[in-house]
Chain A
């Protein structure tokens, strides 16, 4: 059928037909697969949810006299950053907390400010306080530094998230008699609510379930700017239970993504405080899927009713690392406002924002339509089912 090069030609001429992963569902229903595959060039996806494995590398530039932050201690707005790399490079992670945050000592901890919030404020262009204590060397004699920094003035700010954009995710419930405070939100006792976290029919990897177009090097929408798929994400797990339609029925593939933080926007990178759990960063990601064949198109046209997620108890099964799944429910059921579990009507809530996912898919669509964003050929595929990759737990070995 089409090639990426041909689609890019059309994009440059402003002639590409681009639709969102939501719009394509009805288009295929109306026109049928083969006609839609001929007419549509690109389907845009989107997702916006808490992604804890997010962070940023920053290079501040050298001071005079020089200071070696590497191996020392450094803080951005009192949040500790990782310094175990070169002199003025650091990494700030989304879940980092100020040393004096009480954590869960006052239960449930509120976690009002952490690494995710620093990243949001940096992106918003606010001044951030950098405090460093270093040990001093002959070539980097300085030991103390306290200064304001701003994303405008530093050399690089690179968002690098090692696991984002999960292909499907658990629906979290609580079978116990007490409220749970989790990364899946507040879970009320005795099946009081069910929280899910996926954009479902708009979610990038659910629309390319066998990674036929999304690979290493794929250019994407990241946090309001442009980014790339850098690698498969950590815990990438292609070999899970899949339905007849090929879609994973368990959390499966993931993406590691990278991009220039300086182009991004706080609209699509939002610091989060998960009550009783910690801080995180909500990240907006959108991936374009080139319609190279009817098969690829068919995958983009699945709707919420055909995508199933596992319901997992976060009181026992999840914390104890047991694989039990209480039920499977479709995203259409989840979005109806309640699901039935063990004979009980359980109200549902989402942690990932569908309206933001729509906004991302539409933004990416308009970039492509305007010819501002062309597609890339992946330089290597993501490991697929044939790779045999499965994720492992940690094998503990006693330390004598």
Chain B
């Protein structure tokens, strides 16, 4: 079975220059799409990946990553909306590159569909009451 998942990888400093992603492709035949990559001020590597491939290979690939010491988190937990702060203005709707926000035509409330979120972070400073939060 084919799977496609978005995950957040956190590389401790010692792993930053190791060819880990290369192995995912070569040894597990997984396709990847880098949605975001950065090195935090604490010298930790952070990468948001979309991984595609056969379920078995995918599971073995994840196992391999964990063994190397990479931490994995699924993406939807990373960007959340603080529903107490959200005023349902709608300012985020045209900011999100991945159409994770939609306006309910009947109530005009803004729906946040976290499955679509690629954790690009653009909505976080663009939300006037700062209702969007990122958790690392």
- Spell out A's residues near B (CB within 8 Å): 48-50, 108, 110, 112, 185-186, 188, 192-193, 195, 270-275, 280, 282, 335, 337, 347-356, 358
Please tell me if the beta carbons of B91 and A350 are within 8 angstroms of each other in the complex.
yes
* Cα(A35)–Cα(B47), bound, Å: 65
Set A272, A337, A358: member contacting B129, Cβ < 8 A: A272
Q: Which of B91-108 contact A (CB under 8 A)?
A: 91-95, 103, 107-108
Report the nearest B residue to A282, measured CB to CB. Answer: B87
Docked CA distance A185–B125 (Å):
10
Tell me whether B129 and A270 are in contact (CB under 8 A).
Answer: yes
Select one of B94, B128, B130 contacting A192, CB under 8 A: B94
Q: Measured between alpha carbons, how far is A269 from B95 in the docked complex, in Å?
A: 24
| Chain B interface, >50% SS class | loop
In contact, A188 and B130 (Cβ under 8 angstroms): no
Residue in A186, A271, A347, A356 whose beta carbon sits within 8 Å of that of B126 in the complex:
A186
Closest beta carbon of chain A to B82's beta carbon, Å = 12
A185 in contact with B91 given A50-B128, A110-B125, A351-B128 (CB within 8 Å): yes
Which residues of A have CB within 8 Å of B92? 349
Residue in chain B with minimal CB distance to A348: B94
A-B contact pairs, 29 of them (CB 8 A): A108-B125, A110-B125, A185-B91, A185-B128, A186-B126, A193-B94, A270-B85, A271-B129, A272-B129, A273-B128, A273-B129, A274-B128, A275-B125, A282-B89, A337-B103, A349-B91, A349-B93, A349-B94, A351-B91, A351-B128, A353-B89, A354-B88, A354-B90, A354-B108, A355-B107, A355-B109, A356-B88, A358-B107, A358-B108
What are the nearest 10 A-B pairs in CB distance?
A193-B94, A272-B128, A354-B108, A350-B90, A355-B88, A349-B94, A353-B89, A353-B87, A347-B94, A349-B93
Classify chain B's interface size. 10 to 19
Q: Is the CB of B130 within 8 A of A282?
A: no
Once A186-B95, A273-B130 are accepted as A-B contacts, the answer to whether A350 and B89 lie under 8 Å apart by CB is: yes
B108 and A188 within 8 A (CB): no
Tell me the complex Cα distance, A273–B87, Å: 13
Q: Tell me the nearest residue of chain A to B90, going by C-beta.
A: A350
B120 to chain A, nearest CB (A): 13
A-B contacts at CB below 8 angstroms, number? 71
Contacts of A282 in B (CB 8 A): 87, 89, 128-129
Encode contact with A along B111-136: 1 for CB under 8 Å, 0 otherwise: 00000000000000110111000000
Which chain B residues border A50 with CB–CB below 8 Å? 128
CA distance A50 to B129 in the complex (A): 10
Distance in angstroms between the alpha carbons of A192 and B87 in the assembled complex: 23
Cα separation A348 to B95 with both chains bound (whole Å): 10
* Interface pair B108/A185, CB less than 8 Å apart: no
How far apart are the CA atoms of A247 and B95 in the complex, in Å? 31
Chain B neighbourhood of A347, CB < 8 A: 93-94
Q: Which residues of A contact B109 (CB under 8 A)?
A: 355
Least CB separation from B108: chain A residue: A354
Interface string of B61-92 (1 = CB under 8 A from A): 00000000000000000000000010111111
Least distance between A329 CB and chain B CB atoms (Å): 15
For the complex, what is the distance from the CA of A186 to the CA of B94, rounded to whole Å?
A: 9
